């Protein structure tokens, strides 16, 4: 009827290495970071679809001997629901819809009240995909839209949008997004529109063109909320089921929010190549 997957572990282990006799502020007090949670999903509710619900927690523990004994744990909760499936009888058409929300409180701040500041951001993501043979050549297309509030926080980054924005810039999720919670998250303080088409003119050769439009969900102090747009061209060669090669070209054009005041803002260009191996 349903499937369940769970996780529990540490992503940082900072156990104290200093004796309590060393004084009230040892150099390495306990501030471990734990992660736990799980997901349950079923394909018995939605025809030709899958419905999932999940709940995850990341907790940064208070120090064993804190400088300020009133400080507590920093607990971030991410919970949500996801719906995926195929549209019948339209062969090759599929969809995805997901909603995420935050919970928990950060009681580690020196300015925290008795209850501490709460995490209350949210995000959602919608998408449709189409794949079908066109004159015996596999063709594909997709259209996606996602939005995250400026206070949305993620435990870990999810999808990375664009070769430049998502992987190599200082404004995308490759570093820290300008959200209030300062978290590495694809949809933290971001609205993104993603459209793409692709075709395989021969069995092993793929040609894909993707376009992205980025906009901040809240004003960040620049000239506006437009972050810019990106165009990616990717040529791929499937050497085998487990090995493929790619060459790509991308261009990112900055929007008003990233524009240099009084100085021309040049576009960012990228030429690259990748080898992908499945294990």
Give a three-class secondary structure readout of the chain: CCEEEEEEEEEECCCCCCCHHHCCCCCCCCCCEEEEEEEEEECCCCCCEEEEEEEEEEEECCCCCCCCCCCCCEEEEEEEEEEEEECCCCCCEEEEEEEEEEECEECCCCCCCCCCCECCCEEEEEEEEEEEEECCEEEEEEEEEEEECCCCCCCCCCCCCCCCCCCCCCCCCCCCCCCCCCCCCCCCCEEEEEEEEEEEEECCEEEEEEEEEEECCCCCCCCCCEEEEEEEEEEEEECCCCEEEEEEEEEEEECHHHCCCCCCCCCEEEEEEEEEECC
Q: What is the pLDDT of residues 112-148, one digit of tens each?
A: 455 457 888 999 999 999 999 888 899 999 999 999 9
Instruction: Look at residue 177 in the predicted model and tell me its pLDDT.
Output: 44
Tens of pLDDT, residue by residue over 57-103, are: 999 887 655 555 667 788 999 999 999 999 988 889 999 999 999 99
State percent of the chain over pLDDT 70: 81
Domain borders along the chain are 1-120, 162-279
Q: Mean pLDDT throughout 248-262?
A: 87
For the entire predicted model, the pTM comes to: 0.84
What is residue 91's predicted lDDT score, i.e. its pLDDT?
A: 83
Whether the per-residue pLDDT at 20 is higher than 80: the answer is no
pLDDT of 176: 41
Region 225-240 average pLDDT: 95
């Amino acid at each position: 009827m349903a499937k369940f997957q769970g996780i529990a572990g540490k992503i940082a282990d900072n156990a104290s290495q200093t004796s309590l006799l060393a004084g009230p502020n040892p150099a390495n007090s306990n501030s471990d970071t734990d992660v736990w949670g799980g997901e349950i999903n079923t394909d018995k509710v939605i025809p030709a679809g899958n419905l999932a619900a999940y709940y995850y927690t990341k907790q940064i523990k208070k120090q064993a001997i804190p400088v300020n004994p009133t400080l507590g744990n920093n607990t971030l909760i991410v919970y949500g629901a996801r719906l995926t499936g195929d549209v019948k009888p339209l062969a090759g058409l599929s969809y995805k819809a997901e909603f995420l929300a935050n919970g928990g409180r950060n009681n580690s701040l020196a300015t925290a009240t008795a209850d501490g500041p709460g995490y209350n951001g949210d995000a959602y993501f919608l998408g449709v995909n189409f794949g079908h043979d066109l004159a015996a050549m596999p063709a594909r297309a997709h259209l996606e839209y996602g939005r995250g509030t400026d206070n949305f926080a993620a435990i870990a980054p999810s999808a990375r949008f664009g070769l430049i924005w998502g992987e190599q810039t200082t404004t995308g999720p490759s570093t820290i997004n300008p959200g209030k919670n300062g978290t590495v998250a694809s949809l933290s303080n971001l609205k993104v529109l993603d459209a793409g088409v692709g075709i395989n003119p021969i069995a092993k050769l793929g040609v894909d063109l993707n376009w992205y439009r980025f906009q901040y969900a809240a004003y960040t102090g620049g000239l506006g909320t437009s972050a810019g747009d990106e165009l990616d061209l990717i040529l791929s060669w499937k050497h085998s089921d487990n090995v493929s090669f790619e060459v790509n070209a991308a261009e990112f054009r900055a929007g008003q929010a990233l524009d240099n005041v009084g100085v021309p803002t040049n576009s960012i260009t990228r030429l690259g190549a990748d080898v992908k191996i499945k294990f």
